Homo-oligomer: A and B are copies of this chain.
Amino acid sequence: MGNSFGKLFKITTFGESHGSGIGVVIDGCPAGLDIDEGFIQEQLDRRKPGQSKITTQRKEPDGFQILSGVFEGKSTGTPLALMIWNQDAKSKDYSHIAEKYRPSHADFTYQEKYGNRDYRGGGRSSARETAARVAAGAIAMSLLKKHGISIQAYVSQVGSIHLQEAYQALDLASAENNIVRCPHEETAQQMIQLIDSTRKSGDSIGGVVSCVIQRAPVGLGEPVFDKLHAQLGYAMLGINAVKGFEYGSGFAGVQMKGSQHNDLFAKDGDAVVTKTNYSGGIQGGISNGADIYFNVAFKPVATIMLDQDSVDQHGENTVVKGKGRHDPCVVPRAVPIVEAMAALVMVDALLLNKSVKL
């Protein structure tokens, strides 16, 4: 269980890192949407490994095939299935880790939960699964664009290097101008250096992806359990390596007084707006028309090129050898994943909101 996401725009993903491929079925995509294959591929390319010197050097083209649900270039309203075939999946030798539990990986827990596991590259627990989400998210994004809603994520922290500027002071689109996807060139270069030196030492480092959703209409989100930010948090925490989520004022807001934190309402022409936005665009779990913004914390990835003590399936002490290639910091590649999951949440909220009034 647990492989579906969304209520009306519902996706189900399947596939393993070293099986046939990774796929997704979207049930509930409205009919008549132009399916832009080029745009889907662009998003997959932003996530794929081997993009730059600071990501893993594995090369996977991540082309995709539409299996169903599209006719004459448009969604038909029936299930839309996409497949990203794995390349050369079978050639590798995994015998060195087949019975070992890699530290802070899912090897042990999958083995215990299911009684078996696909040990080839993590199987289902591999972040490769997120390719399917990015593909589905691209379609969700196309739908949001028609409603004028934009979603832009970027890297705001790597290790202890923080982006100091608030998002309002930045040109978020410029995040794509550098390989770390930070929209502040000087900070970006520092991040890149840190990741590069971490890579050379065989180690990994964590980071934060920030995301801004703009021009969402007032009214999205379903109290009380399905508050818009609860849905966003749930979506983000389901991404591999995520350790935390905060929106609006977040953890820092804890230290504020109510008289500072409250967003006073004011008029802007006919619209009701807020003078500040500590609420992060969401009040009572419902979007209020202001920018929705949030942060997602990613741990340093577990795969490192250093030897580590561990235990194997038989309960024997062992050493997990560092070898091959690795991703020293996931956040640059996590940017499109965060956007995709945010898009899935927003589309679902948009569709659910259609039935709220007579």
Contact = CB atoms under 8 A, between A and B. Distances in A.
Interface in A9-49: 10, 12-16, 19-21, 23, 25, 27-28, 30-33
Given A15-B79, A258-B303, 17 more contacts: A1-B27, A1-B28, A2-B223, A8-B355, A14-B67, A23-B68, A76-B124, A77-B115, A78-B123, A109-B285, A109-B286, A224-B238, A225-B234, A231-B234, A248-B299, A251-B297, A264-B309
Interface of A: 1-5, 7-8, 10, 12-16, 19-21, 23, 25, 27-28, 30-33, 65-69, 71-72, 74, 76-81, 83, 101, 103-106, 108-110, 112-118, 123-125, 129, 143, 146, 157, 159-160, 198, 203-208, 218-219, 221-227, 229-231, 233-235, 237-238, 243-251, 253-267, 270, 272, 274, 278-280, 283-288, 295, 297-304, 306, 308-311, 315, 317, 351-358
A114 B283 contact: no
A103 B265 contact: yes
Contacts of A246: 243-246, 251, 297
A15 B355 contact: no
Which secondary structure dominates chain A's binding surface? mixed
Contact of A257 (B205, B255, B351): B205
Contacts of A112: 218-219, 286, 288
What 8 pairs between A and B have smallest CB-CB spacing?
A106-B284, A2-B222, A244-B246, A2-B226, A204-B258, A234-B234, A109-B286, A14-B79
Assembly of this chain: how many copies?
4
Given A237-B245, A243-B247, A4 B67 contact: no
Given A76-B116, A265-B103, A204 B257 contact: yes
Nearest to A106: B284
Nearest to A206: B254
A166 to B, nearest CB: 17
Contacts of A125: 223-224, 284-285
Given A237-B229, A237-B245, A247-B244, A264 B310 contact: yes
A234 B243 contact: no
Contacts of A113: 31, 77, 218-219, 286, 353, 356
Contact of A238 (B10, B12, B227): B227
A272 B315 contact: yes
A354 B355 contact: yes
Contacts of A116: 31-32, 71-72, 74, 76-77
B4 A265 contact: no
Nearest to A248: B243
Nearest to A161: B255
Contact of A255 (B2, B206, B286): B206
A297 B55 CA distance: 33
A92 to B, nearest CB: 15
Nearest to A158: B254
A70 to B, nearest CB: 8
A41 to B, nearest CB: 18
Contacts of A13: 79, 224
A219 to B, nearest CB: 4
A299 B283 contact: no
A71 B219 CA distance: 20
